[in-house]
Structure 1
């Protein structure tokens, strides 16, 4: 018996270790058999072999003792071949069922996870939108932001900051007592400098209470302090999808604004498209659109025109912030790209998304600028056609953004269609919600309320003029009507680049940009003469301290007549104080476009005694405004320009005039599409830039103020006398 058991041990071990793998054909037959022939068997096995059944089966198993395990029934040896096949089929079916069950459970779990993740993202986005909406709400009692749950922590932080500042004051007071002999707390308090710190009224120059030397740093900001407007410095990954959705919605709205006519747009008496706000609100309902601040007004306009520039070149200039500012020097005073959210497709710019800052202006120091932080999205909708959409965006992390500038750019943009022969058709839509932070000066009130200053018509007129200028820049040779010395093609190109920089510099320093602080001194009219000083270290400008002075006035003459007076070199001696009544000679003349008023001239004074100094002058005009800007340039610099060398480092300090229609159309002339025809008058701004000192540490003194005030006063009186309106 023992020997028999010893002989059976190896066989049982080998039988337990032997594995049998089914071939693919056997697996296919088992699956077919399990599907068509053994459903009842599987149900029988699953239902019949329950726990009590297995115990009974185990008890009835021959050779098994009273303590045989019920689980051994399923793994016991088959009694015959049919039973073995049935057991194999059952085990195979059970494995298949378990595999399918686990797969179904896995798919269900993944679907539940996706739904939960989508709900979580939706709740997070709603939370961000609600926080942004709450930050835009203004408290009706105090005009400030609503209180939040963190007010207690903010108060504790202020207390800690107050304690730290007191400690800093004690430390500085100790140093002051060491070097000055008395503590800082005993020094006289410093009076804050107001906007009218140069309050020098008529006859007040001899007032002994005014210091003869005023600190420059108290009166101006450095020209490098460019962007006081609060914009988001970076965009988080959570905010990017919201901005993409906002830009896409703006693009769709711009397309509908461009392609829809009546009843959304109706023609006015002067031929302009006027947006019907009731129809617009019914077509484009957005949450929070009805939330208006007191004094809010909507400016909306649409216009189309052909420009002489390729579509892709134009799109590149729109999506490049430096080229954008160069394209509109009379409108855009500052611009920068905050962040590139999407680069877009190479070659077409399709899909490009930028977060941009922009400051737009009127060329007068008495008209406040407008600042926008907005998204610019470019999309090619079909071959040869693009849409560029703009829409304002606020930083949800910065509550000061909503309070500092409540004006916003509603979905606006441009439909760009490529045309043959190098032309492009643009349909321009401007749509802004404006809240003026400061009251508009009475001189410019009618013009501002007309919507012409920042309307689509003005943007397109400026674009057409600049495109013609760029076309003339790339044309070799000079037109037949150009007179004077004909420079070489390289010399012409260099001279036009220098004139363009002169124009941009003048426009950037004559408006009410936030980079400078204008101060009112004695005035010739209700506007007064306004001055500002700033330090310059930029290439292409004289190093040192520059004094800017400007004044605006109303003239009872059309803008065209006033522009013709300043453009004509034969009448220059009637208003140019520095010419001492001497006539000037045209050395070179370059046309800049189809209008004869768009030109560049190089002038030389006759009998002035300064043969080493010439005057570079550029005149530009369109239907919505004119500019005459000039700057003295020495003879060596002119030789550099004429030879075709780079003029970027030639120092220039431009002065000039800006002429705008006053916005009050004469009776019977309302049907004219040109606002400068039939206007009852014009708005003239006279601006000078004078280099006070080449030392950056120079002080502004009353002598400089008196000099520039007398210069502007004499110039204005001569202009009024020459135009036969001395009593204005």
Structure 2
């Protein structure tokens, strides 16, 4: 290889030795300043006396040479200074410069020509040396890569890597790998734009995590080539797998972490609250997962708990509830305010949920207006793993640099093992990070314990719902109205289910249920929200107000539950009864705990004709208790009992939610009558303000609702603290 100058006689050969290059240069750098120019013959003033670079025409004008002489130091310095400003002077500039220095213009012209040639030679010499150094470095890198390639092997097949040059097949694989990675980034950007967040890049996975991501299986013929600490995951089973590569890779890693957390014991997990729940030790977790994909985010508090139970439901039906987002949100309606499937990446194989991958958005709630909703976007992945089924949730998206997340799910979910008699053993793990700046001080302790959103809470709801479904199989557990058969009772239970969902959404204020805060009403821990119904099925038309508040009572949760669900004491605190009495006309038992039932009450004496009935559901589990009721027209109830559709029955639920005030209250369980400690009682009303959806909400209406709420709380407090209830 050689470099030829564009102008001038200089030829620099790249493969020449340094001595040959020195000999090939026209003049030495130091001698150029003093010996470039020869003196001009004084007898021929128009012809230069010496011509270091001359053409054929110039040779015809040469005369007798005079004695050579050097330019003075002053002349050279002046020429050098002018050259820095103008390397190509014109005729006028050369003439003026010659007059100034006592030189002919042609002498000045030749000096500038030789100076430019000298500078070009110097630059080309440096370029040649730089190219030579780069060539030596490339040779060294090539030898090092060949040595590394000779010891590389495929971790999937275990075979040695071929020596020598990279084969054409390997070059094609590397090119396809680069193309697939670019496709991942493109699809990630699309999903990120949809969610207004930035998707975690596949390249961000640590090497250990990338090695786990073998989700294409044996059929894909994928290969992971390791060389010089570089890993190339190369799936080659077609374009259809590209779109789900990044979320499925993340889900696989989350599943591995969830399985590991389910198997570990102390010191990473520690038992608490009478050994009923296990909490995660963050320091031990950080040591166990030093290269985790979910580093702790500044400003977020960690909640992590583990709990296990055996539930009366077979594994197939349980998976159907967990993987169908609609069924999941209804089944866990007391904790899930809203859930939607954004996208389904995979529907599983062989008519099962094995390999099902979904992108889900959900709002989680606590039955109080003093704790904000937790909203998250996460992956849900189901996999058959040996004798177990694993359902894992994990937040897929990273937020923008200037946006702080309020809720993030680390690997959470459950491991399910099928048991005899259509039962299942469930290990539930909840591991989240949350911004708790908006939480009221009354709920700080119980939220920090993880009992409101933790594993124990989820399993308590699951256990109670399984008992509820099992009790429906036994008709004898119910006392019914005349002509009320099993289908009629199931319709009543569906109506109670809708009542529960409406009550919880009004308390939490979920925007998905069209609730909006009424401006200027957030005062003294009372929340007033409104909803405009335009003839939606199951909702009374007009403007509905939901008023809710939470108070602390120095009374055990069980005692409050017994008071509020009891019929004899109802007229002592229920203002809307106006002193009337309730008589139970129908009861449907829906759980093993005493008091877990759905009832229909008549108001007044049993023989009296009354057009109004009250539908009520009361239930309690190991973490929370509810009493929810709504007035319903007697004709509508009779219609439902005769087979009418319960979805079109308009409901305005009122009710109570009871939580322990601190984790230690649950030492003996919420059902313990002698349980010391206090309770957090939430009271909520829904009232139809006006039948016209466009009606304005007056301050008088708000004051009336607040007064009703305050009066009810005062009556309950007076009864409990006055020991008027046996």
Q: TM-score, normalised by structure 2?
A: 0.65
Paired with 1:576 and 1:713, the residues of 2 have a C-alpha distance of: 12
Paired with 1:536 and 1:363, the residues of 2 have a C-alpha distance of: 26
Paired with 2:338 and 2:628, the residues of 1 have a C-alpha distance of: 19
Aligned to 1:628: 627
Aligned to 1:585: 583
Aligned to 2:484: 487
Aligned to 1:285: 290
After TM superposition, the structure 1 = structure 2 runs for residues 558-637 of structure 1, keeping only pairs within 5 Å, are: 558-606=556-604, 611-637=610-636
Paired with 1:566 and 1:496, the residues of 2 have a C-alpha distance of: 20
Structure 1: 5+ residue runs without aligned partners? 1-103, 138-234
Conservation of the 8 A alpha-carbon contact between 2:517 and 2:527: no
Query: Higher relative contact order at CA 8 Å, sep ≥6: structure 1 or structure 2?
Result: 1
- Of 690, 695, 701, which aligns to 1:693? 690
Conservation of the 8 A alpha-carbon contact between 1:554 and 1:683: yes
Conservation of the 8 A alpha-carbon contact between 1:521 and 1:531: no
Aligned to 1:77: none
After TM superposition, the structure 1 = structure 2 runs for residues 542-557 of structure 1, keeping only pairs within 5 Å, are: 542-557=540-555
After TM superposition, the structure 1 = structure 2 runs for residues 243-642 of structure 1, keeping only pairs within 5 Å, are: 243-268=247-272, 270-271=274-275, 272-286=277-291, 289-294=294-299, 296-383=300-387, 385-394=388-397, 399=400, 403=403, 405-436=405-436, 438-473=437-472, 475-479=473-477, 482=479, 487-515=484-512, 516-519=515-518, 526-528=524-526, 530-606=528-604, 611-642=610-641
Instruction: Report SS of the residue matched to 1:426.
Output: strand
Query: Which of 455-464 and 499-508 deviates more?
Result: 499-508
Conservation of the 8 A alpha-carbon contact between 2:395 and 2:409: yes
User: Are 1:114 and 2:157 an aligned pair?
Assistant: no
State the aligned residue count.
513
Paired with 2:662 and 2:394, the residues of 1 have a C-alpha distance of: 28
CA shift digits 1:145-169 (9 cap, x unpaired): xxxxxxxxxxxxxxxxxxxxxxxxx
Paired with 1:619 and 1:521, the residues of 2 have a C-alpha distance of: 33
How far did 1:263 drift?
2.8
Conservation of the 8 A alpha-carbon contact between 1:301 and 1:455: yes
Conservation of the 8 A alpha-carbon contact between 1:536 and 1:546: no
How far did 1:567 drift?
0.7
Query: Which of 607-616 and 580-589 deviates more?
Result: 607-616
Could you say if the C-alpha distance between residues 663 and 518 of structure 1 is closer, same or farther in structure 2, counting changes exceeding 3 Å? farther
Paired with 1:634 and 1:416, the residues of 2 have a C-alpha distance of: 44
How far did 1:674 drift?
5.4
Paired with 1:675 and 1:265, the residues of 2 have a C-alpha distance of: 26
How far did 1:707 drift?
2.0
How far did 1:136 drift?
7.7
Conservation of the 8 A alpha-carbon contact between 1:338 and 1:357: yes
Could you say if the C-alpha distance between residues 124 and 602 of structure 1 is closer, same or farther in structure 2, counting changes exceeding 3 Å? closer
How far did 1:646 drift?
2.5
How far did 1:285 drift?
2.9
Conservation of the 8 A alpha-carbon contact between 1:360 and 1:371: yes
Could you say if the C-alpha distance between residues 557 and 671 of structure 1 is closer, same or farther in structure 2, counting changes exceeding 3 Å? closer
Paired with 1:423 and 1:468, the residues of 2 have a C-alpha distance of: 11
Conservation of the 8 A alpha-carbon contact between 2:506 and 2:529: no
Aligned to 2:655: 656
After TM superposition, the structure 1 = structure 2 runs for residues 7-406 of structure 1, keeping only pairs within 5 Å, are: 108-119=167-178, 121=180, 240-268=244-272, 270-271=274-275, 272-286=277-291, 289-294=294-299, 296-383=300-387, 385-394=388-397, 399=400, 403=403, 405-406=405-406
Conservation of the 8 A alpha-carbon contact between 1:603 and 1:616: yes
How far did 1:129 drift?
9.2
Aligned to 1:721: 718
Conservation of the 8 A alpha-carbon contact between 1:661 and 1:679: no
CA shift digits 1:482-536 (9 cap, x unpaired): 476572112211111111111121112211434533347679x942353434435
Could you say if the C-alpha distance between residues 664 and 351 of structure 1 is closer, same or farther in structure 2, counting changes exceeding 3 Å? closer
Aligned to 2:126: none
How far did 1:239 drift?
5.5
Could you say if the C-alpha distance between residues 673 and 706 of structure 1 is closer, same or farther in structure 2, counting changes exceeding 3 Å? closer
How far did 1:373 drift?
0.5
Could you say if the C-alpha distance between residues 651 and 528 of structure 1 is closer, same or farther in structure 2, counting changes exceeding 3 Å? closer
Aligned to 2:50: none
Paired with 1:128 and 1:611, the residues of 2 have a C-alpha distance of: 62
Aligned to 1:178: none
Q: TM-score, normalised by structure 1?
A: 0.65
Paired with 2:343 and 2:262, the residues of 1 have a C-alpha distance of: 28
How far did 1:240 drift?
2.4
Paired with 2:683 and 2:420, the residues of 1 have a C-alpha distance of: 42
Aligned to 1:26: none
Paired with 2:690 and 2:709, the residues of 1 have a C-alpha distance of: 20
Paired with 2:165 and 2:600, the residues of 1 have a C-alpha distance of: 82
Could you say if the C-alpha distance between residues 263 and 568 of structure 1 is closer, same or farther in structure 2, counting changes exceeding 3 Å? same
Instruction: Report SS of the residue matched to 2:526.
Output: coil
Paired with 1:725 and 1:236, the residues of 2 have a C-alpha distance of: 69
Q: What is the aligned-residue RMSD (CA, Å)?
A: 3.3
Could you say if the C-alpha distance between residues 343 and 409 of structure 1 is closer, same or farther in structure 2, counting changes exceeding 3 Å? same
Instruction: Report SS of the residue matched to 1:421.
Output: coil
CA shift digits 1:22-71 (9 cap, x unpaired): xxxxxxxxxxxxxxxxxxxxxxxxxxxxxxxxxxxxxxxxxxxxxxxxxx
Paired with 1:657 and 1:536, the residues of 2 have a C-alpha distance of: 27
Could you say if the C-alpha distance between residues 564 and 307 of structure 1 is closer, same or farther in structure 2, counting changes exceeding 3 Å? same
Paired with 1:291 and 1:654, the residues of 2 have a C-alpha distance of: 41
Paired with 2:629 and 2:357, the residues of 1 have a C-alpha distance of: 38
Conservation of the 8 A alpha-carbon contact between 2:272 and 2:278: yes
Instruction: Report SS of the residue matched to 2:489.
Output: helix
Paired with 1:542 and 1:126, the residues of 2 have a C-alpha distance of: 48
Could you say if the C-alpha distance between residues 261 and 105 of structure 1 is closer, same or farther in structure 2, counting changes exceeding 3 Å? closer
Query: Which of 279-288 and 300-309 deviates more?
Result: 279-288
How far did 1:478 drift?
2.6
Paired with 1:563 and 1:521, the residues of 2 have a C-alpha distance of: 33
